[in-house]
Structure 1
Amino acid sequence: LDALRFEGLAAEDAQRLKQVTVLFADIVGSTVMARQLDAEDIHTIIDGTLTSLSNIVESHYGRVLQYAGDSLLAVFGADESHEDDPENAVRAGLAFLKASQKIAREVEQHHRLEGFGIRVGVNTGRVLLGGGVDAENSIRGITVHVAARMEQNAPTGCLRISHNTYCHVRGIFDVSEQAPIDVKGLAEPINSYLVHGIKPRAFRNRSRGIDGIETRMIGREAELKQLQQGFHALYEHKVPHHDAASAITVVANAGIGKSRLLYEFENWAETRPESYYIFKGRARPQTRQQPYGLLRDILAWRLQIAESDSAEVARDKLLQTIAPLFDQSEAAQIDILGHLVGLDFSASPHLHGVLDDSEQIRNRGFHAAAQIFQRLAQSKHIPCVLILDDLQWADDDSLDFLNYLLDVNRDVAMLIIGMTRPELYERRPDWPARNSSAARIDLQSLGSTHSHELASELLNRLGDIPVTLHQMVTGSTDGNPFYMEELIKMLIDDGAIISNVEKWQLVPEKLSNTRVPDSLTGVLQARLDNLSVPERATLQRASVIGFEFCDLALAALDKSCVECLPALIQRELIVPHENAVNGIQGARNYSFHHHILHKVTYKSLLKHDRQRFHLGTAAWFENRVKTRGSDNLGTTAYHYQRGGEAKRATHYYALAAEDATSRHSRDATLHYVQQALALCDSDDHNLRWRLLSAREKIRATQDDRQAHDADLDAMAIIAEAIDSDNLRAEGLLCRAMALCSAGNYPAAEETSRSVLLFTQDSSATAIAARACGTQAFALRRMGNFSTAKPVAENGLRLAREAGDRAVESELLSNLSGLASESGNLLESFQFDLEYLAITRATGDKAREVNALNT
């Protein structure tokens, strides 16, 4: 009996129902070959081709199951399932076509025979594997027949995929939608697509939902049409007094359906025949404090810069990709843009003369970035589409850039689609500013009718849906689609719905015992509670790293956690990202299924566990600072702060503040300084000076004079506490420059003279030169030219002595103005020539323009 039972179990195991991707390939022209070539030549060509195709299948992790004359059948995911099985099958199909082109040339060359080619068809679905004759290679089911129809209806040299496969590979390949095809055994024709190639950078579009359930979008048809109209407008003739560049912002609370609407729009746009350049960017909670964080993400997506790329690799990608858009004489623009977004081009000769002029770096970086869009769009008359997600977390510097982009590129065919929660408008009530073609779409919760429609779609595999279940799903979720999906997943986790079968099954006794949490947070918490201990621990550790996390960072906290990631993917709690090109070997990025899930998971941790994991994460990011420069300074500081290491957090916040100041990132500087000052010891005068000095540089360019004066007063107190003449001089110089900016020239002149009292030390020569320049400028504005000139000449001598070209050029400009206003035009011209020569030597374009205009 035991032997019979074992045989029965073995037979049962030999047959499996499984979702796979099936590929059919057929050699075209074999009949013609049979008439014109002998059997040995035909055998050589056919057998050689099938061998080549079989090798391609194996290299893409598939397995050839059957050969039939001049065709083959391969399957992906039969032995071991992978998330990217459909993608691997399509990539293999494209490789088939490329290989067949080479074979066709060889057949024509050696046998003078034209017309050789292959057709490929791919479909994804459930099949029965094993059993019967040739059990090892047996495969049955409608999925196989659909794959065969895809191949039979593909033009020679083409790859046709079914809609089922397309749903798994959206966004990765260039496709065009085809007319529906009838398939024997199916009541309705099926949609299919021809695949033309791989997109320059794979960006997998994933819609939220329930695994195995594909629902149509419900209740958002009007909003989708509005996005489509914005797209069509890119190709229409220009309307007088109407900007070619436009922006559409979709606004909704979490879980209402922004992601699904964007998902449907992208899929629709992808199948359009019109050409367009696509850019994408996504803000994250930590982006708000990263200088130009969203702008960097936009460029990184387009240029395929991975988080795991070293600083050197990232710089090379920027140079190689953007350089063709600029003339050789414009190389400085690329370096300045790279430096602005944190790729550290400080060693570039193009930046030597402007490194201390953060405002110029910002302005020229904005110009260079806008030029990328303009030159792409105008070179081939192809519009640009920029898709931005989670704008509520975007840093203000990047939002400033987007407003600048819409303004200066108003005549460029460009559509910006932004997804955001309402809180964006709390700090940017006029978003986006200065654009006559801006539109706002407000998504509301689904109404009763649409909620019932969505519930019916989500539960359709149950067949007849009990009224009690329908009411449970719709009655407590307030028209929030994400809430509805998570509630159904909770019922699956609880065993009230059995979903691992073709037709779902309801377990009434478990359903009746289910207590539906009265909030989305409660539903998500219930899902966490249903996890195994290792799975829950993995998700909790990942939540400390962030909404997005790298498996290497997770392994640094606990190596065993990485083993639980596949189970969390299967439960649809996390989402894997595409492996990065040129990334760290074996590294992969993941994100939580939703920001609310991330927040709930993080809050489920005990305080001492949070601190411990934050410290481990901080140590990992600290090591990344060594390879990626300033990228992770703020992140490292944040994790040290949350881990209770105030001293190390302060150190990295100070570095982050100084880096932000050097790039004129105003909000990031203010944030980092505020965080550091709150943690810094009150008697750490040197560090507090560094922080206040960084903030003063930013506040000097803003309108809040009271806050700026407060920083200057605080700096004066520190200078006295340290008893440092150099710091006294530096603080007074900042005050004198502020007084000049405010138009209080007598006070500025007096304060500048005070600076010189504290600059007797040789190390303060540059400060003395700058003080002379400020004093001379104030005297000039007061009309005291005779006194101003010797002061400026003394400053020029000191600047040259200190080797400070920037101050030297400012003083030459001052002397030129003094000479001109005194009627000595020849002397003024000579100063201007010297001034112009320095600006060109240092690459200071802002002052060069000023020199040319004087």
Structure 2
Amino acid sequence: MDVATWLRDIGLGQYEKAFRDNDISGEVLAHLRAEDLTGLGVTSVGHRRKLLDAIASLALVSRSAPIGASASLKTALPLSAPTEAERRQLTVMFVDLVGSTELSRQLDPEELRAVMRRYRSAVTDEVDRFGGHVAKFLGDGILAYFGWPKAQEDAAERAVKAALRIVAAAGGIKTQEVPHLRARVGIATGLVVIGSLGEGEAEHPDEIVGETPNLAARLQQAAGPDRVVISETTRHLVGGIFDLEDLGRQPIKGIGPSVALWRVHGIGRSESRFEGLHGTILTPFVGRGREIDLLLERWGRVRRTMGQVVLLTGEPGIGKSRLVRFFGDRVRGDRLQAIHFDASPYYANSALRPVISEIRRSAEFANIDPDETQFRKLELLLGRALADTTGAIPVIADLLGVRTGEQHSLRDLTPQQRKAITFAALLNWVEGLATRHPLLMVIEDAQWLDPTTLELVDRINDRIAQLPVLLLVTFRPEFKPTWSGAHVDWIVLERLDPIEAAAVAEAVAGKRLPQEVLNEIVAHTDGVPLFIEELTKAMRDLNVLVDAGDHFDLLGSLPAVTVPVTLQDALMARLDSLPPSARHAAQVGAVIGREFDR
């Protein structure tokens, strides 16, 4: 397929060079998503939607017409969208515009149409921003999926973040008759079957069957204006990432007499995503003795003013964040400073977002703080590191979006000049912290760092050898760091052996487990700590274990092992990342089982 010709055919030939420079072939084109297009420089929301629609059209015509033939689709579906119905876990969002009937009486039909277009566009933009899929427009209601057509390991978290932004975005839409629009959102997570239920023109590949969409719609009805309400399963998946209010168990028509409801007030104040998901009380740490010894030895060098970098890599769920947390607890008794940059896939194209988030958290900014309060808090924070803050204050305040009277001098600078003085201020802040006490600087999930933050880390690495700083960077194997030098070490986390895996399972259970249960857990988790923890919790909740003092006894036979809800999205995301042939092989393997004869 000639991608350049295809782009010209759909009227977007201006992106030919960007696609060519990034090696976007016809095969790669099929798998592009909204965030990929943003990375290619497609900043226009309208152009992204047009491209996604055109890519979706390829999926519909590829089996019967030449690639590039046109077709229309109301919503954007990647080419990888399944053509057959499949069973999978999905997070479903239902958005409703409050007071739409009254609005239709107040506004002229043309004005109402303009308002509805703005409302739909705002919802669609936020769903797209977090990798969701708008499935249907139902009058003033909007149905969206997270975790389809491509699974996401954090689908529930994405949905809740999108919902909070949708409520805020709706509130920003005003008319002369209406001060602002008000939306309400319901979110539920569960197993569904997704696929077409119709024929011919009525065929829609994104129709879902199951209780989950009904529950999401009912939760939306139970939510008040400007509120987001989520189900118990969704709450379980997002952990402590958000500030939640338990609304108790309420009767929900068509669902049940007692359904747990949770209201989302906003983002929580966890130090990191790991802490938000797992809380502050963790299971006992098992294994990784050599890795901890290496980190402690490097920390000893740091205390002798010999800066060190440790690159910690491993597959998802292997325990990178848990190792960082355990090491932090081990050195907490030392007098030290700490900085935590937490990268996120949502902000991989937002310059210095991890840095901004860390400074706002460390300065204890609150959303309701006026600029004067934020300015004073920033002064206090920088004053702990710098003897003279006059040069750094206006620069970092400008980075954080805090208005001051000293920023007028920055307005005439070029982007390159602003970046240079921002980097200088941030590097001085880091060095100032290190001169007070040894500094532990953690960068989590470096595979999602934006280019500007990566460049800043390069600068830090260049200076670190002569500073009492330990830079500890975690990342997945697909990320290829360029940092090197005598002060740089690698730790590659491998899977746990069966003895260590059994020890983790019993640590999670809190007591000795029957050997039959241990064997099942070890056999099905392949030494991945996250899988071991979640499967052990699922086993514990099956009500087949009885407390016998210092151990558990098994009641009857052990039921068949099923995938815990907390692992469904992560495992499906891995499957969806495979090419079709490998995915088919995995499906066949799932039927055959792990052991079979010729």
Q: Highest relative contact order (Cα 8 Å, sep 6+), 1 or 2?
A: 2
| Structure (1/2) with the larger helix percentage | 1
Please give the TM-score of this superposition, normalised by the length of structure 2. 0.46
| Structure (1/2) with the larger strand percentage | 2
Larger Rg: 1
